[in-house]
C-alpha cells in the first residue's frame, strides 16, 4: 500500500496543475481529428485496379464524434450503434447454408471436370528451393501432364506456422512458382494457375516438425484430365 | 526538463504556454523534499498517475454483465493515466443513493482524491415499451468541493457500455487533453465454418460483431483513420488475393486492388488519402500505394520480396519487410520510395523480422521477431535503431502487432494459452490482457482510433 497521507498530496498538486492546464483553454480544443469531405461514388463490384482508389474521409461513425468536455448543464449526447447491421445480418441467416451449398457445388463441379490431385511437393523450413525428392516427384507428374496437355494445372503454395502470416503468403507463392518453373523447364504445355494460401490452410495443427513439414508444401490439382 | 504532464502540456499547447507550464511544474517540484522523487521519476519517463475514485453507479436499469462502475474503473486503469482508488478503505461509502454526499467528497479530497466520479443510469420513461437508457456522469472536485461538470448520454440499453467508455475518454480528455482509447475498436480475423471472416470488437474484448460473410479467407484488416472503413485482403474471388474495402456505416464493399497475383498487406496512410500495399504483379512482391483517384505509385523496385508497409504517424516514412539481404528484415524508406535503409540486421536482431507496426507516437516500431527456437514473438525497436527489446515473454507464438491510438498498448495474437487468441499488453511489457476466448481461431488484431 502506498503512503496515503503523503502520496496523494503531490498527486493533488499534479492533478490541480493538469486541471489548470485543461482550463487554460489550449487543451480544450478537440484533439480528435475531425474530417469532412465528400464521399467518392461507390463502385461496388468494380475493380479498383481498373479505377477508383481509397475513398475520401467521410462522416465520422456515431460514437466517434469529438469529445465535448464536462459542463454544468451538459447537452444530451445520443449513443448509437455505429455499424449498419442490416446488410451483414441479412446475409448471416443465409450464411451457413450458402457456404455449404457453394462448397457442394464446387465439389460437384470438380468431379465433373475430372479434378485430380498430383503428388504434393514438400519444402525445407523457410525455403522455396526444390529438394531432389521434390524434383523426382515432379518428373513423375510431368508424364501425366504431358499425356493430358489440355488439362489445366493449379498449384497452391502453403507454409508452416513458424513464419509470419503475411510473409508466408509470399513464401507460398514462391514455392508455387518454383514448381511451375520446374515443370515448364521439363516441357509441360498445360495452362498453369498458381496461388498461395501462406499458412491459412494447414493440413495439420500440431506444433512439431512432422506436422510443420507436411504443411510446407505445394499442392497440385489437375482439371480436365483423364 | 519535463515531467510527463509537462510534456503533454507542451504537446497540446502553443509553445509559450507549454514552456510556462513546464517551468511551473519544475518550479513547484524542486522545492519540497518529495518533489525530488517525482523529478527523478519523470526523467525516467514514467507517468505519475492521477488519483481518482469512482462511486458505485446508481444503475436503475441493472445493466446485465459487468457493472458500469467496473467498466469505468477498468477503462481508467487501462488508460494508464489514472490510479483508481477504492473509497471503502478510506472509510467512505462507495454506494450512494441520489448523489455522493458533500462530506464524502471532502474527506476523499483530503485523502488526495481530487477526481471523483459518479453515475446515474435510468430509463428516460419508465412506462415506455422500448426502454431508452439515460446516463448521467458527474465529475466532482475533491479539493474545492462541488461539481466540475457533467456528461449526459442517451441510447438503447445495450449501448450503456459504450456510454461508459465515452465517459472514460472524457475523463482522460479533461485531465490530459488526449482523446483516450476507451471508444476504440479492434478489427480481427476469426475462423467460422472453416472460413476466416472479419469481426470487430470493443477494445476490451466485448461486443464482437461479424462484418464479412464470404466463406473464404478475409485477412489483414486496416482501419481508415476516420474509423469508417476497413481495407483487407480477400480471397473471395478464388485464384487471387485482392484488396477490398468495406464501409462499416453503409455495409458497402468494393475492390481496391485486383492485380494478377497476390495483393496483400494494405495499410492506410495517417490521413486516409492513400493506401500502401504489396503486390506480386511484377513477379516478386513490391510495395505500391494507391491514391484517392485510383492512381498507383510504385515505391520499391528490388528482385527480393518487399511487403508489409507501415506508415509513420507523420506519413513521411514507411517501414516495411524485405528479404533483399537474404533473410526477412525491417527496412525504412521515405513515403515516395526513396532513401531505403535497413533498420534491423540479421547479426544483431536475428534472422527473421517482419510485420512492422509504427506507434502513433512515432517512438517505437513493433514487429514480429523469432526467438532461439524459431518461435514468433513481438519485438520493439526505436525508428533510429538505438533501442531494441522483446515485448512478449512466455510460451507460444505471437503475431500481428497493432498499436492503440495512444501508443501505450499493443494488441497481438498468441497461442500462449493454447488456441490462437487476441491479447493486449502495455508497451512496457506489463498489463497483459486476453480479449478473446470464444474457442475459435482469432488473429490479425488491428486497433482503431477512438
Instruction: Report the range of poorest mean pLDDT among A53-57, B128-132, B261-265, B361-365.
Output: A53-57
In this complex, do B111 and A51 lie within 8 Å of one another by their Cβ atoms? no
A6 inside 8 A of chain B by CB: yes
pLDDT of the residue at B228: 92
Q: What is the largest CA-CA distance in chain A?
A: 89
**Of the candidates B219, B228, B225, B227, the residue with the CA atom closest to the CA atom of residue B264:** B219
> Can you read off the three cell numbers belonging to residue B321?
519487410
CB < 8 Å to A128, chain B: none
% residues pLDDT > 90 (chain A): 50
**Of the candidates A151, A158, A137, the residue with the CA atom closest to the CA atom of residue A192:** A151
Q: Which of A9, A70, A88 sits opposite B150 (nearest CB)?
A: A70
N- to C-terminal Cα separation, chain B: 30
Q: How far is CA A186 from the centre of its chain?
A: 34
Contact indicator for B82, B49 with CB cutoff of 8 Å: yes
CA atoms of A207 and B177, how far apart (whole Å) = 47
Interacting residues of B374 by C-beta distance below 8 A, sequence separation 6+:
A125, A162, B352
% residues pLDDT > 70 (chain A): 60
Q: Among A40-49, A70-79, B11-20, name the most confident range.
A: A70-79
In this complex, do B294 and A173 lie within 8 Å of one another by their Cβ atoms? no
Helices vs strands, H then E, count in chain B: 7, 30
% residues pLDDT > 70 (chain B): 89
pLDDT of the residue at A58: 52
* Residue owning grid cell 465515452: B166
Q: Which of B231, B291, B355 sits opposite A164 (nearest CB)?
A: B355
In this complex, do A57 and B272 lie within 8 Å of one another by their Cβ atoms? yes
CA atoms of B291 and B289, how far apart (whole Å) = 7
Instruction: Report the range of poorest mean pLDDT among A152-161, A204-213, B333-342.
Output: A204-213
Mutate to test the interface with B, among A56, A169, A198, A211 (most CBs of B within 10 A): A169
Residues 24-83 of A with CB under 8 A from B: 24, 26-27, 31-33, 35, 40, 42-61, 63-64, 66-83
Contact indicator for B329, B308 with CB cutoff of 8 Å: no
Classify residue A112 by burial, with Cβ atoms within 10 Å: 0-12, 13-18, 19+: exposed
The ipTM of this complex is 0.86
Q: Phi and psi at residue B243, in whole multiples of 5°?
A: -105, 120
Q: Which of B175, B178, B219 sits opposite A31 (nearest CB)?
A: B178
Mutate to test the interface with A, among B272, B315, B357, B440 (most CBs of A within 10 A): B272
The model's pLDDT over A75-115, given as tens digits with 9 standing for 90+, comes to: 999 998 767 543 443 344 444 555 566 667 766 776 666 78
Task: Provide the pLDDT confidence category of residue A122 given band limits of 50, 70 and 90.
Answer: very high
DSSP category for residue B309: E
A101 inside 8 A of chain B by CB: no
CA atoms of B248 and B392, how far apart (whole Å) = 32
**Of the candidates B443, B436, B368, the residue with the CA atom closest to the CA atom of residue B196:** B443
Task: Provide the pLDDT confidence category of residue B2 given band limits of 50, 70 and 90.
Answer: very low
CA angle B86, B207, B187 (to 5 degrees): 110
Q: Which residue of B has its CA nearest to A88?
A: B211
The model's pLDDT over A48-85, given as tens digits with 9 standing for 90+, comes to: 343 355 654 456 776 678 899 999 999 999 998 767 54
Residue B384 CB neighbour total at 10 angstroms = 9
In this complex, do B5 and A21 lie within 8 Å of one another by their Cβ atoms? yes
Query: Is A195 strand, coil or helix?
Result: strand
> Can you read off the three cell numbers belonging to residue B364?
517505437
Size (chain A), residues: 226
Q: Which residue of B has its CA nearest to A53?
A: B294
CA atoms of B5 and B28, how far apart (whole Å) = 13
CA-based radius of gyration for chain A: 29
pTM for the model: 0.83
CA atoms of B135 and B166, how far apart (whole Å) = 11
In this complex, do A45 and B176 lie within 8 Å of one another by their Cβ atoms? no
Size (chain B), residues: 450
The average confidence (pLDDT) of chain B is 89
Instruction: Report the range of poorest mean pLDDT among A95-99, B157-161, B214-218, B319-323.
Output: A95-99
Mutate to test the interface with A, among B139, B285, B294, B414 (most CBs of A within 10 A): B294
pLDDT of the residue at A144: 94
**Of the candidates A201, A125, A128, the residue with the CA atom closest to the CA atom of residue A163:** A125
Mutate to test the interface with B, among A17, A25, A170, A197 (most CBs of B within 10 A): A170
CA atoms of A167 and B24, how far apart (whole Å) = 51
pLDDT of the residue at A98: 58
Q: How far is CA B16 from the centre of its chain?
A: 31
CB < 8 Å to B151, chain A: 70, 74, 77
Interacting residues of A101 by C-beta distance below 8 A, sequence separation 6+:
none
In this complex, do A83 and B248 lie within 8 Å of one another by their Cβ atoms? yes
The model's pLDDT over B264-285, given as tens digits with 9 standing for 90+, comes to: 999 999 999 999 999 999 999 9
CB < 8 Å to B290, chain A: 48, 53-54
Q: Which residue of A has its CA nearest to B160?
A: A79
Amino acid at each position: 500500500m502506498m503512503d496515503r497521507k503523503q502520496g496523494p498530496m503531490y498527486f493533488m498538486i499534479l492533478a490541480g496543475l493538469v486541471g489548470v492546464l485543461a482550463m487554460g483553454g489550449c487543451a480544450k480544443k478537440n484533439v480528435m481529428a475531425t474530417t469532412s469531405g465528400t464521399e467518392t461514388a461507390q463502385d461496388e463490384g468494380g475493380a479498383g485496379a481498373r479505377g477508383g482508389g481509397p475513398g475520401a474521409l467521410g462522416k465520422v461513425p456515431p460514437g466517434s464524434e469529438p469529445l465535448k468536455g464536462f459542463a454544468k448543464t451538459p447537452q444530451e449526447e445520443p449513443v448509437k450503434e455505429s455499424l449498419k447491421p442490416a446488410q451483414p445480418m441479412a446475409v448471416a441467416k443465409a450464411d451457413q447454408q450458402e457456404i455449404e451449398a457453394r462448397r457442394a457445388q464446387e465439389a460437384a463441379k470438380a468431379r465433373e471436370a475430372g479434378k485430380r490431385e498430383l503428388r504434393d511437393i514438400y519444402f525445407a523450413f523457410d525455403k522455396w528451393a526444390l529438394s531432389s525428392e521434390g524434383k523426382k516427384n515432379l518428373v513423375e507428374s510431368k508424364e501425366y501432364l504431358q499425356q493430358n496437355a489440355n488439362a489445366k494445372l493449379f498449384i497452391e503454395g502453403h507454409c508452416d506456422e513458424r513464419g509470419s502470416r503475411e510473409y508466408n503468403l509470399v513464401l507460398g507463392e514462391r514455392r508455387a512458382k518454383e514448381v511451375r518453373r520446374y515443370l515448364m523447364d521439363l516441357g509441360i504445355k498445360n495452362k498453369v494457375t498458381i496461388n498461395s494460401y501462406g499458412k491459412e490452410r494447414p493440413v495439420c495443427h500440431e506444433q512439431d516438425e512432422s506436422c510443420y513439414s507436411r504443411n510446407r508444401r505445394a499442392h497440385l490439382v489437375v482439371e480436365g484430365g483423364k | 526538463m519535463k515531467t510527463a504532464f509537462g510534456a503533454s502540456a507542451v504537446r497540446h499547447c502553443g509553445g509559450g504556454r507549454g514552456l510556462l507550464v513546464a517551468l511551473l511544474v519544475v518550479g513547484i517540484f524542486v522545492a519540497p523534499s518529495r518533489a525530488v522523487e517525482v523529478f527523478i521519476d519523470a526523467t525516467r519517463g514514467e507517468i505519475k498517475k492521477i488519483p481518482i475514485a469512482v462511486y458505485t453507479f446508481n444503475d436503475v436499469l441493472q445493466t446485465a454483465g459487468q457493472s458500469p462502475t467496473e467498466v469505468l474503473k477498468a477503462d481508467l486503469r487501462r488508460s494508464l493515466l489514472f490510479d483508481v482508488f477504492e473509497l471503502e478503505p478510506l472509510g467512505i461509502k462507495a454506494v450512494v443513493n441520489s448523489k455522493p454526499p458533500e462530506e464524502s467528497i471532502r474527506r476523499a479530497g483530503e485523502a488526495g482524491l481530487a477526481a471523483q466520479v459518479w453515475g446515474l443510469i435510468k430509463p428516460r420513461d419508465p412506462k415506455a415499451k422500448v426502454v431508452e437508457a439515460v446516463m448521467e456522469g458527474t465529475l466532482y472536485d475533491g479539493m474545492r468541493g462541488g461539481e466540475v461538470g457533467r456528461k449526459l448520454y442517451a441510447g438503447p440499453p445495450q449501448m450503456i457500455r459504450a456510454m461508459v467508455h465515452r465517459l472514460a475518454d472524457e475523463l482522460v480528455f479533461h485531465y490530459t487533453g488526449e482523446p483516450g482509447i476507451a471508444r476504440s475498436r479492434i478489427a480481427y480475423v476469426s475462423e467460422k465454418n472453416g472460413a476466416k471472416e472479419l469481426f470487430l470488437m470493443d477494445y476490451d474484448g466485448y461486443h464482437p460483431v461479424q462484418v464479412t460473410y464470404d466463406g473464404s479467407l478475409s485477412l489483414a484488416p486496416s482501419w481508415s483513420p476516420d474509423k469508417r472503413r476497413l481495407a483487407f485482403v480477400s480471397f473471395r474471388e478464388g485464384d487471387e488475393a485482392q484488396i477490398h474495402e468495406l464501409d462499416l456505416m453503409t455495409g458497402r464493399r468494393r475492390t481496391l486492388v485486383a492485380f494478377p497475383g497476390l495483393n496483400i498487406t494494405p495499410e492506410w496512410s495517417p490521413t486516409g488519402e492513400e493506401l500502401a500495399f504489396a503486390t506480386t504483379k511484377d513477379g516478386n512482391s513490391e510495395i505500391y500505394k494507391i491514391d484517392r483517384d485510383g492512381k498507383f505509385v510504385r515505391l520499391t523496385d528490388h528482385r527480393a520480396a518487399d511487403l508489409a508497409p507501415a506508415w509513420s504517424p507523420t506519413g513521411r516514412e514507411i517501414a516495411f519487410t524485405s528479404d533483399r539481404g537474404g533473410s526477412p528484415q525491417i527496412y525504412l524508406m521515405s513515403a515516395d520510395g526513396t532513401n531505403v535503409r535497413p533498420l534491423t540486421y540479421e547479426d544483431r536482431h536475428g534472422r527473421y523480422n517482419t510485420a512492422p507496426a509504427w506507434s502513433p507516437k512515432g517512438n517505437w516500431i513493433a514487429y514480429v521477431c523469432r526467438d532461439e527456437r524459431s518461435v514468433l514473438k513481438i519485438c520493439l525497436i526505436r525508428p533510429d535503431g538505438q533501442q531494441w527489446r522483446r515485448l512478449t515473454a512466455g510460451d507460444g507464438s505471437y503475431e500481428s502487432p497493432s498499436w492503440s491510438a495512444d501508443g501505450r498498448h499493443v494488441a497481438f495474437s498468441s497461442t500462449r494459452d493454447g488456441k490462437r487468441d487476441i491479447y493486449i499488453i502495455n508497451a512496457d511489457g506489463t498489463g497483459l490482457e486476453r480479449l478473446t476466448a470464444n474457442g475459435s481461431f482469432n488473429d490479425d488484431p488491428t486497433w482503431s482510433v477512438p
